[in-house]
Structure formats: C-alpha cells, structure tokens
Structure 1
Amino acid sequence: MVHVCFVSPKIHNFLGTGEETGAGGAERQQYLLACALRDRGHDVSLLTRNYDDGARYERRDGLGVWKWIPDVRGVTGAPLKTSAVWYALARIDADVYYVRGNDFLCMAVANYCRLTDAAFVYAVSSDADVEPSYLADYHPLRRQLYVESIRSADAVAAQTHHQQRILAEAHGIDSTILANGYDLPDEADVPSHEDREFVLWVGRIAREQKRPELFLDLARALPEVQFVMVGPPNDDEEAYFEEVRTKAADIDNLRFEGFVEPSAIDEYYRRAIALVNTSTYEGLPNVFLEAWRYATPVVSLDYDLDGDLRTEPIGRHSGSMDALVADVASLVDDVECRADLGWSGRDYLDRNYSMRRLVERYEELFAGVHEG
C-alpha cells in the first residue's frame, strides 16, 4: 500500500467544514479520488489550508487532514510560504505527493521532493495551466521555474489529448491521460425529463474564463424559460461576483444562487433541462460529468471536450451566441430529444469516466512512482 498526500488549499470544503466557498470541480475530484484510495486500503493524507483556529492535524472520514497551507495567492512572502509547506510535507512523510493545478504548490512540492525520497505527481487542472498563451502572462522566471517543476515530476497527468499535445509540443513533457471520474447514481434517482424545471449554469464567477454574463444574455433572450446560476466568486473577483449578482437580480426568469454546498449541488443537476457552459477554455469540466450522471444534456458555447461534443450525441456544441439561444430553445421544447441526449451522456460518462477504472489506473501510477 502507498501513502498518498493530496496537496490542495480548498479540499477541506468537501469534508463539510463550511469554511470555504471557492472549492470546485478540481477539489471535488481530488476528494473523490482520495476517498476511493482510502476505501482500497491506502493511507491518504490531505494537506489543506489552515482554515480555522483548531488543531493543525485531525482525522476525518478516515483521512489524515493537515491544516498548514498559507494563502498561496501571489508571490508576496514566497519563502515563508514555501517553508510552511515544506514543514508540513516533512511531518506528513508520504510516499507520493499529488498537486493538481496551482503553480505555487507545484513548485514548492517539486522542490521538496527533489530533496527527499518522496515521489511527486502533477496533474493538469485546466488548459491554462500549460497553454503558452496563458503562461505568457507570467513573469519569465516564474514561468521557467513552474515549467521546470512540472518537468521534474515523476509523473504528469493530463485530462485531455489537447493538454497532452501541449505538454509535449510546447514544453517537451511526457504525460499520461488520467481524466476525471464519477460513479453513477441509480437510474431510479434520475428524474423524468418531463419534470425538469430550468436551464442551469454552474461554475466559478470568473470574468475572463467562465464568462457568466453570457448566461445572463441567454436568459434575457429566452424570457419564457427559467434559468438558474450556481457558483462561488473566483479568487480576487469578489467585486465582479457582486456585479453579476446585481445584474442577475434584474432578470425575472433567472435565479442567482451563488455558492451551493457540495452536498446539495446534485439536486440542481437532477432538476435541470440542460447544463450550459460559456467558458473560453476548460480542462475537463466536472460540471459536464456531474450533469451526465443525472442524464442532463450539455450545451456548450465554445469548449468541445476534445471534439466529442461535436461528434457524440451527448449534447450540443453551439459555437455562437445565436446558435446557443437556438440550441437551448430547441431542448426546452423537445423533451424526447433532451432525454435521448441526456441518457447518451450518462452512457458516455460510464464508458469514459468511471471512477472505478480511474482509481485503478491511479493506483498503478502511484505504485510505479513510489517503487521506481
């Protein structure tokens, strides 16, 4: 058995702490993977943010929870932040450390593992983690150190073929495709499509990536349809969150929910006619998989899931706002069509993103880097 430590500032939210509103799909996937590994007999630790004034270590749900990560946003105080992370890593003494996204933690953990016998696994969370056009905004030294830290990993996990190509072609880094995974609820828990109530949007309220205001435009264009928007503020975008909330309040057929506890989010997918995505870029959207668990079709403005949303009968890839309005309107009107797409999406999820198969592959990966 392998002792694996997941290094994630916000993963504690999935332990029901109620202390963090910014946890999303990346954290949910790490938590699900951590629990699956725990259930298969592995020793699993979580290194997360120091979110309260309680003990810095506790056991919760059979997981070792270490609350030592400082606020890692920005580069101010980087040496002190790094030393705090290193201190915690040394106390945890895991065989393998896993970081998903987050360039600062990637660099801190990579350098620690260089100095010890521990193995380091880095997982790409979003296309922006590796796309040169997005990394161009980094300071040159930060960009160089970050890419070198990814390169130093004992294994790198990409979510999609697109990410794998970027890693290889732009950075000379080999990677393994290890996407996201979910278990399926019983078919009896999937409501009839005739009983669905609203068109749904779920994501961080992030201006540049998620473009939530386009969903507001969609709701304005279809005033007879009910819309629901769910999501926390993005880091450092609290003012924008309030701006979107204010604009949403003026749209009669749109309900703005803001942050929803992880334990309550499934109910929104169960009641949704369709899930709409307006992002400029993604990694592999957990919201797609979460929707398909409940046979809810996906309508995406731009992101196409490695082309599968264009070629598989699992939803719609619109490509323009006019087409997005038309696609959503047609699914609202055609219950049979959205049911067919939704159940096809659920089957696609089972074939491609099974948690059971994913955790088996991660077990092999973690064992390989630990022994190798």
Structure 2
Amino acid sequence: MRILSIDFSIPYLLKDDDHPIGGWAVQLSIWLRALDSAGHDAALLTWKGALAHVGSGQQIKLIETYDPAHGVRVAKYFYSYIPKILEAARAYRPDIMIQGVCGVHTAIMAFVAGQLGIPFVHRVVNDKDVDERCKIGLRSYEWLAYSWARSRTTAFLCQNEYQREKLAALFPSKPVHIVHNAVVVTEDATAPLPRSERKYVAWLGVFRYGKNLPLLFRIAQELPTVTFRVAGMPDRVVDQATLDAVDGLRHLPNVELIGYIRRADVQRFLSEATALLCTSDFEGFSNVFLEAFAVGTPVVTRRQVDPDAIIMRHTLGASAEDELALTKSVKSFWGMDANEYNALTRRCQTYVKENHSPTAKARELIAALTPLVAESKHHVSSRRSD
C-alpha cells in the first residue's frame, strides 16, 4: 500500500532541533517507520528545504512542497500551497492519504485526495477536536475549512472510545476506527530504575493553554517537600495565565525549570522521575504517558485525560477525579514503599511492551485502511468498465 501524509514539524523532530513538537508528529514518525518496516510505501509531505535540513540516512521519506515562510496570508493557500501539494501528491501516486491535527491542512489534504480519486482519512489527535471545544484556537476560516474537510473524510482514525463515540454520532455513515498510540520499547530494554534512584516528579510538555500550568503551580506550592522538574518551552503563542504560572514556578524552591529537552534525552528524564505528572485539561492519547511507562515511570493525571481509563484499569499510576485527589496522588507516589513502587515500575513497562508496539499498531492501521483502498479501486474499475 502507498500511504501519503503531511506534517511540517517532523523534519525538526528528525534533527532533534530545539523546536516545539506536537504529539501527532511523534506518533506519525513512529507509524511511518513501522509501515516502512512492514513493507509498505509511506511518504511525508513537508516544507521546502526540509531534505537539506534533515540530511541523509533517514528512514522516513520526505517530499518537499512549499515554503511556509512566504506568501500572502489566506491567498497563499490557493496560488501556492494547494497547487504544490497537489503536484507532489500526483507524482507520488498514493493509494490513500492520512492527515492529523485539525486545521487548514485537513481541508487541503481532503481536496487533494478528492482530485486524485483516492480515500482521505483524518486522524483525530485530541479529545477537544470532536466536541464543542474544537473551535478553540482556530481562526474562523480555519474552522470553516476543517468543518468542510470532515464532511468529505472517507473515514476517521481516533485514539480512544470518547473520540469514537463523538465521531460516530456526528458522522454515522463514516467508518471510525480506534488505533491506540504506539511507543518503541526494545525487547532487551533496560529494567526500570529502583525508587532509590528516582529524585523528582516530572512534568513534560509545551507551555500553552490546555496544559494547565496554573494547576501544576498550585500542586507544587501545596507540596513543598516534593521536588519537581519541569521540562518544556513556551508555544509560539502563549496565554497570560500560562505565563504567570511559569513565572510562579520559577520562584518556588522545590521546582526546577530545565527548559526544552531534546528527544534523545526524554527517556533519561522520565526514567529518573518518581512519577510523570500531567495537569492537562484535554489530551487524546498522550505519547508522553507511553514514554513514561516504557521506562517504568507511573503517571499521575486527571481522570478526563486517562485514555480509555488505561491507567486506572491497569494500575499504572493514578487517575484522579479532582485537584485534591491529584495532589494527594503525587504525595502518595513520592512516599510509596520501595518494594511496592518497584513492582509498579515493572508493571508499567510490561504493559506498553504487550499493548503498544509499533508493529502491532501498524497492523491495526493497515487493517483499517485496506477496505477503504479496496473499495476505492473497485469504484474506479467500475467507472472504467462503464
């Protein structure tokens, strides 16, 4: 199968640049490598100049399109962006196109797929994208473009049952498939560090609305005997509440802000933490959760962002109903008996090995896409015979 997707941050991810990287880029890069290893042709549309930026030796096939730094606001989509993406897609001749993250690119890829006469599949990457919160952060023309694209999507890929239920209600005639996120854990992965070698509670993410840095500040303030290490950098546009919270964290004696962590250093950062704390208001299926489990680090999070309640059902940390319970959970893991804690770390690592391997998720992805491609080719064949 020939699969074509689009993303403009993966080149920075491949170079491990000091650049904000969203969860979809991380997940898509895992998918592309797994699909390639399984014998499928998978490629990525991205920005002009990316090949020179990344260099040779990458498993992911990059196809350059346009330079996002140039163009006249909305008009650039019509005289530059769309024509260049359409030209590149025609040259690649994909069987199917996949796009994740809500916005204008959803509409562009849906349009291009329509021009090529192939299925377009949209990957939902956040719970807010399937309910009334979807308009948050989108300009009016972006929301209109995304709404148009969803109506023309052949099928949806989602991350959890909440997303599936919402999409099924909105688009009852369209296929909706749950494909959980994947994480790379080798069979001979290092055993989790014992409690005695874990020195802090970790927080990792981009500083922006929705990650709820004010909640992190309140918890750290409430637990002065617990050490916190906060990794991340501000998004391109940051709300004032987030900026105020980061400033407050900077002045707490039990908090260390360590800035952006390169991908090569994420594993070590998480492996030395007693727990990963997530304060987000909304997620989908956080890659960071899986990365934490992969090194045996439990996750303490809010109930509404525990995807399909995996943390609660598999006892991989704490899934708290409110702020008080979240704070108590952080304190509980910080003071947990070493033997109990060490057993928990092993359970976390075993869980991801058994449930989230890239190979298994690639098989699920292909199983979801195959009927769509087959039906599309059948329709083309029928039209030709007519």
Q: Same fold (TM over 0.5)?
A: yes
Give the match for residue 212 of structure 2. 211
Matched, 1:153 2:153: yes
Matched, 1:66 2:63: yes
Give the match for residue 301 of structure 1. 302
Matched, 1:345 2:345: no
Deviations 1:202-239 (A, max 9, x none): 112112x1112221222222222211111232242287
CA distance in structure 2 between the partners assigned to 1:232 and 1:64 by the alignment:
28
CA distance in structure 2 between the partners assigned to 1:313 and 1:57 by the alignment:
40
Matched, 1:5 2:4: yes
CA distance in structure 2 between the partners assigned to 1:67 and 1:213 by the alignment:
39
Deviation at 1:75, TM superposition (A): 7.0
Q: How does 1:303-322 map to 2 (within 5 A)?
A: 303-322=305-324
CA distance in structure 1 between the partners assigned to 2:66 and 2:225 by the alignment:
47
CA distance in structure 1 between the partners assigned to 2:56 and 2:93 by the alignment:
16
Please, which of 8, 25, 28 is the counterpart of residue 27 of structure 1?
A: 25
Deviation at 1:292, TM superposition (A): 0.5
Deviation at 1:324, TM superposition (A): 1.8
Range with greater deviation from structure 2 (305-314 or 151-160): 305-314
Give the match for residue 378 of structure 2. none
Q: Does the Cα contact within 8 Å between 2:300 and 2:329 map onto a contact in 1?
A: yes
Give the match for residue 330 of structure 1. 332
Percent of aligned pairs with the same amino acid:
20
CA distance in structure 1 between the partners assigned to 2:274 and 2:49 by the alignment:
36
Matched, 1:40 2:30: no
CA distance in structure 2 between the partners assigned to 1:271 and 1:352 by the alignment:
23
Give the match for residue 200 of structure 1. 202
CA distance in structure 1 between the partners assigned to 2:4 and 2:292 by the alignment:
29
Give the match for residue 163 of structure 1. 163
Give the match for residue 255 of structure 1. 256
CA distance in structure 2 between the partners assigned to 1:314 and 1:21 by the alignment:
30
Give the match for residue 184 of structure 1. 185
Normalising by structure 1, what TM-score? 0.88
CA distance in structure 2 between the partners assigned to 1:84 and 1:243 by the alignment:
41
Secondary structure in 2 aligned to 1:283?
A: coil
Give the match for residue 362 of structure 2. 359
Deviation at 1:299, TM superposition (A): 0.6
Q: Does the Cα contact within 8 Å between 1:33 and 1:359 map onto a contact in 2?
A: yes
Deviation at 1:108, TM superposition (A): 0.3
Q: Does the Cα contact within 8 Å between 1:57 and 1:65 map onto a contact in 2?
A: no
Count of residues in Structure 1 that have an aligned counterpart in Structure 2: 368
Q: Does the Cα contact within 8 Å between 2:3 and 2:95 map onto a contact in 1?
A: yes
Q: How does 1:237-256 map to 2 (within 5 A)?
A: 237=238, 243-256=244-257
Structure 2 vs 1, CA of residues 228 and 368 (structure 1 numbering), >3 Å: closer, same or farther? same
Q: How does 1:109-128 map to 2 (within 5 A)?
A: 109-128=109-128
CA distance in structure 2 between the partners assigned to 1:133 and 1:63 by the alignment:
33
Deviations 1:226-269 (A, max 9, x none): 11111232242287776554333212221112221112111111
**Matched AA of 1:343:** R
Deviations 1:38-96 (A, max 9, x none): 122222222123466x7599764233212325549x97334243334333333433332
**Matched AA of 2:43:** S
**Matched AA of 2:170:** A
Give the match for residue 132 of structure 1. 132
Unaligned runs of 5+ in 2: 376-386
Secondary structure in 1 aligned to 2:253?
A: coil
Range with greater deviation from structure 2 (122-131 or 171-180): 171-180
Deviation at 1:167, TM superposition (A): 0.2
Give the match for residue 87 of structure 2. 87
Structure 2 vs 1, CA of residues 75 and 56 (structure 1 numbering), >3 Å: closer, same or farther? same
Q: Does the Cα contact within 8 Å between 2:302 and 2:322 map onto a contact in 1?
A: yes
Deviation at 1:141, TM superposition (A): 7.1
Secondary structure in 1 aligned to 2:308?
A: coil
Q: Does the Cα contact within 8 Å between 2:299 and 2:316 map onto a contact in 1?
A: yes
Q: Does the Cα contact within 8 Å between 2:195 and 2:342 map onto a contact in 1?
A: yes
Deviation at 1:325, TM superposition (A): 1.9
Q: Does the Cα contact within 8 Å between 2:199 and 2:227 map onto a contact in 1?
A: yes
Deviation at 1:363, TM superposition (A): 2.6
More helix per residue: 2
Q: Does the Cα contact within 8 Å between 1:125 and 1:159 map onto a contact in 2?
A: yes
Deviations 1:307-343 (A, max 9, x none): 3333331111222222222111111111334333333
CA distance in structure 2 between the partners assigned to 1:177 and 1:356 by the alignment:
16
Structure 2 vs 1, CA of residues 116 and 58 (structure 1 numbering), >3 Å: closer, same or farther? farther
Deviation at 1:138, TM superposition (A): 5.7
